[in-house]
Structure 1
Amino acid sequence: MNFKELKLNRPILRAIAEQGYDTPTLVQEKAIPVILEKHDLIASAQTGTGKTAAFALPILQQLFDKQDAPKKGKKIRALIVSPTRELALQIEENFKVYSTYTNLRTTVVFGGASIEPQKDILRKGVDILVATPGRLLDLHKQDIVNLDYIETFVLDEADLMLDMGFIDDVKKIERLCPSEKQTLLFSATMPYKVEHLANSILTDPKKVFVAPNSATAKGIHELLYFVPKPKKIELCLHLLRNTIKGTIVIFRRTKYGVDKLEKTLLRNNYKAVSIHGDKSQSGRQEALNSFKKGDANILIATDVAARGIDIDSLDAVINFDLPSKPETYVHRIGRTARAGKSGGAYSFCSADEKAYVVSIQKLINKHITVEEDHPYPLDPKAKPEVHKKKGSKHKKGRKSIASKKKKKRWY
């Protein structure tokens, strides 16, 4: 199938062709006709399957007839809500590329950046708004954003949105839009809470499920290293020196862990940058840009910060900390070996992460090859570290002898 068969109009087809795409991905092939027929939609597809174009192209097609409203007369007719700033920026970029030969205007609003320039653009009038939940509600409260004319409402990465605690905001935004609208929900995984949300905001939706979330891409060479927790950094340096080359994303569980590893790699003269939720928006964007341009070849990130970021042709992914959710493992390593290329996925497992390996292998339905030939093997009998809080040596409610001595008696 090619894009022409999806009944898209010529200006949109021209923009797609200029990007070098001629055949739609599976999710695009299934979702675009459903959206053009004005049905509500639930789509489950992994990161990297072309989800953004699956909703961007039909939305641009549907708004094509309304594109020539004067700037001031433009109303927001499509709203895309995204959980992270990076993802929101990426969606906006895609809309702008695909709408090159139309007069449709797209903008993005998100927290962590100055609100005034965002207000100025919105006052000038836009057709399509991409937003993170918090900033969107702020702007609505200030009467800058009017959602009365929304025709299509898209929730992207719905599972991450709920994991980040945005469920009340999402429901509030949905209620602010007209009841007669088309709602599209895209999610990488379909846990119960996403289905529950879908049932509450969608009307008789069509469903598109592309490849089970459990399949890992064919071209990925997966290796598992059992290593004591304190030796993970040593192992990482050892592999970077001897085995892993090229562009690499390293995943850590915490923001503190990301910062710590970045400092170590920089001290060892590696070109590394990092992104996580506590970094300023400009800091995150700067790090991403220098990674994309090739000024840095290692990006260290938490899952939330890296979700949905489009990075082409990664050579390797390192799971420095194994994720507690097995689906996250599939997402992480799915960033390499895209578009038929090959790539490596290297996972470090300490004694307290062995249970995660079991659930990951159950999900992907195969054993990950264990690499035993490395300098920091884990003792097979090693038990997970148990961190006990040290209590006070004093009994509760008893004063220490010293404080009793100091006390001057009044009698």
Structure 2
Amino acid sequence: MTNFHELGLSKQTVATLFALGYETPTPIQAQAIPQLLEGRDMIGLAQTGTGKTAAFGLPIIEMLAKDPKRPDNRTTRTLILAPTRELVNQIAASLKSYVRGTPMKINAVVGGASINKQQLQLEKGTDILVATPGRLLDLIARRAIGLTAVRYLVLDEADQMLDLGFIHDLRKISKMVPNKRQTLLFSATMPKAIADLASDFLKDPVQVSVTPPGKAADKVEQFVHFVVGKNDKTDLLKKSLEENPTGRAMVFLRTKHGAEKLSKHLEHIGFKVASIHGNKSQGQRERALKAFRDNEIRVLVATDVAARGIDIPGVTHVFNYDLPEVPDAYVHRIGRTARAGRDGIAIAFCAPDEARLLRDIERLMNIEITTASGERPEGGRQPRGGAGNNNRGGAANRGRG
């Protein structure tokens, strides 16, 4: 199939997509849309950046349009759950662009924003509600929204929702939605906990899969610096940022405190920088992302709250200042660069106590990341060798620093 009309979408939807610049479906859209239009439950295995939102959003919009009855007050016909505020807002923005010119109503509710304002937005009924699980339950407790009218339920980035501790919230919500519904679960990875969740939530699901788990974008060149301590990491980071004055960089750390401290240090020594993490208000996070998108700042320091679902074109460098505890998080972090066919560089700093984390990452990706400086610790070399890392000549020089 080569176009959206052949996937079963209406002429109006296809015309809207064409106006938005969508001409050819991505692989997950081509696989998912026809099956969802048939009403099947679905497990979708896909990384961010593969066109997932349109893959699940377009068929839901088509099906809602065929039943134009307005939702009752304080109800929603569709519920989409996602793990972070940023991802919720991004999904809602995409869906709003698909329904432009129609009476369909889309709302987003997240923590860190005014719950009273959100309550008012939900009063008149909603066709599609995009939410973080915690804020949704807060609004249900206030009787601002009920889930008895939900016909379509989507769990997006399910593995991250479990990592962030949302499993109990998801199970509570599952008891509030009708048994007669269409359910879609999208996840970048399929650990046992996700398979168990899928078996509880879905009925006879079809499975679609694109980009195998653990595979980084082909155009990301990866390097690792072996360091002794934090000061070495900071010095190497400063050096690399200075050597790439026109680049745009995302720097990932494990903790909110560490991210804020590094951001203030970089700002103090003259870099245009902002930070984004769980202690920031929704407004602060949105302003930081906008400044980064608009090139007002060139360094965004973040925790893994920003590792998924945020599509910022033109990120040239991703720095893993701290290696993540979960190897899949590394794949999502470096996926913020090399988007839309561009090249990108991922640079990791590995302290002695992070050697195990590096080994786990390399095992997942089946590569040995190129050493840019320092000595790889004894026993840290991967038995499979470095053939899987497609670095090109001269790239290591750019990775140093």
Task: Return the TM-score normalized by structure 1.
Answer: 0.88
C-alpha displacement at 1:378, in angstroms?
5.7
Greater Rg over alpha carbons, structure: 1
In structure 1, the partner of 2:266 is 265
The alpha carbon displacement at 1:9 in A equals: 1.1
Is residue 295 from structure 1 mapped to residue 296 from structure 2 by the alignment? yes
Indicate conservation of the 8 Å contact 1:317/1:344, yes or no.
Answer: yes
Distance (Å, rounded) in 1 between the aligned partners of 2:104 and 2:75: 11
Offset of residue 126 of structure 1: 1.6
2: distance between equivalents of 1:75 and 1:66? 15
**Aligned equivalent of 2:353:** 352
> What SS does the corresponding residue of 2:189 show, helix, strand or coil?
coil
Unpaired stretches in structure 1, ≥5 consecutive residues: 384-411
In the alignment, the residues of structure 2 paired with residue 74 and residue 100 of structure 1 have an alpha-carbon distance, to the nearest angstrom, of 22
**Contact 2:75/2:149 (<8 A) preserved:** yes
Q: Does 1:82 align with 2:54?
A: no
Does structure 1 retain, via aligned residues, the 8 Å contact 2:32–2:208?
yes
Q: Distance in 2 between matches of 1:360 and 1:137?
A: 35
Query: For the residues of structure 2 that align with 1:95 and 1:103, how far apart are their CA atoms?
Result: 13
Match of 1:107 in 2: 107
Q: CA RMSD in A?
A: 1.9
1:142–1:235 Cα change, 3 Å = same
Ranges of 4+ aligned residues in structure 1 off by more than 6 Å:
71-74
Amino acid of the residue matched to residue 354 of structure 1?
A
Amino acid in structure 1 at the alignment position of 2:362: Q
Quick check: 1:5 aligned with 2:6?
A: yes
Partner of residue 218, structure 1: 218
Greater mean alpha carbon deviation, residues 145-154 or residues 10-19: 10-19
Partners of 1:245 and 1:163 lie apart in 2 by 35
1:116 matched residue in structure 2: 116
Aligned position for 1:145: 145
CA–CA distance in structure 2, aligned partners of residues 344 and 162 of structure 1: 29
Structure 2 CA distance, aligned partners of 1:274 and 1:4?
A: 42
- Counterparts of 2:116 and 2:152, CA distance in 1: 26
Confirm or deny that 1:283 pairs with 2:289.
Answer: no
Which residue of 1 is the match for residue 175 of structure 2?
A: 175
Give the structure 2 partner of residue 339 of structure 1: 340
Residue in 2 that maps onto 1:252 = 253
Give a deviation string over 1:329-350, Cα, whole Å, max 9, x none: 1111112111211111111111
C-alpha distance in structure 1 between counterparts of 2:52 and 2:289, whole Å: 21
Q: Which residue of 2 aligns with 1:52?
A: 53
Compute the displacement of 1:68 (Å). Answer: 5.9
Instruction: State the Cα distance separating 1:132 from its structure 2 match.
Output: 1.0
User: Cα distance, 1:102 vs. partner?
Assistant: 2.1
2:132 paired with 1:129: no
Task: Give per-residue Cα distances to partners, 1:65-91, cap 9 Å, x unaligned.
Answer: 23363x867951110011111111111
How much identity, in percent, do the aligned residues show?
46
1:397 is matched with which residue?
A: none
Q: Is the 8 A contact 2:73 2:123 kept in 1?
A: no
Counterpart position of 1:202? 202
Pairwise CA distance, 1:245: 4.1
Per the alignment, residue 24 of structure 1 pairs with: 25
Cα distance per residue 1:321-372 (max 9 Å; x no partner):
1112221111111121112111111111111111222222222122211113
Counterpart code for 1:174: S
Q: Deviations over 1:136-172 (max 9, x none)?
A: 1122122221211111000111111111111111111
Deviates more, 1:43-52 or 1:117-126: 117-126
The 3 A distance-change label for structure 1 pair 356 and 345 is same
> Is 2:29–2:55's contact at 8 Å kept on the other side of the alignment?
yes
Q: CA deviation at 1:124?
A: 2.0
Q: How far is 1:192 from its partner? A: 0.8
Q: Distance in 2 between matches of 1:380 and 1:154?
A: 44
Distance 1:260 1:16, change over 3 A: same
Cα distance in 2 for residues equivalent to 1:74 and 1:285: 27
| CA distance, structure 1, for counterparts of residue 7 and residue 347 of structure 2 | 39
Distance 1:138 1:220 in 2: 40
Instruction: Give the Cα separation in 1 of the matches to 2:164 and 2:89.
Output: 18
Q: State the TM-score, normalizing by the size of structure 2.
A: 0.90
Helix, strand or coil at the partner of 2:175: helix
Any conservation in 2 of the 1:11–1:101 contact (CA below 8 Å)? no
Aligned residue for 1:189, secondary structure, equals: coil
- In the other structure, the counterpart of 2:399 is none
CA distance 1:241–1:171, shift in 2 (3 Å): same
- Residue 306 of structure 1 and its aligned partner are, at CA, apart by 3.4
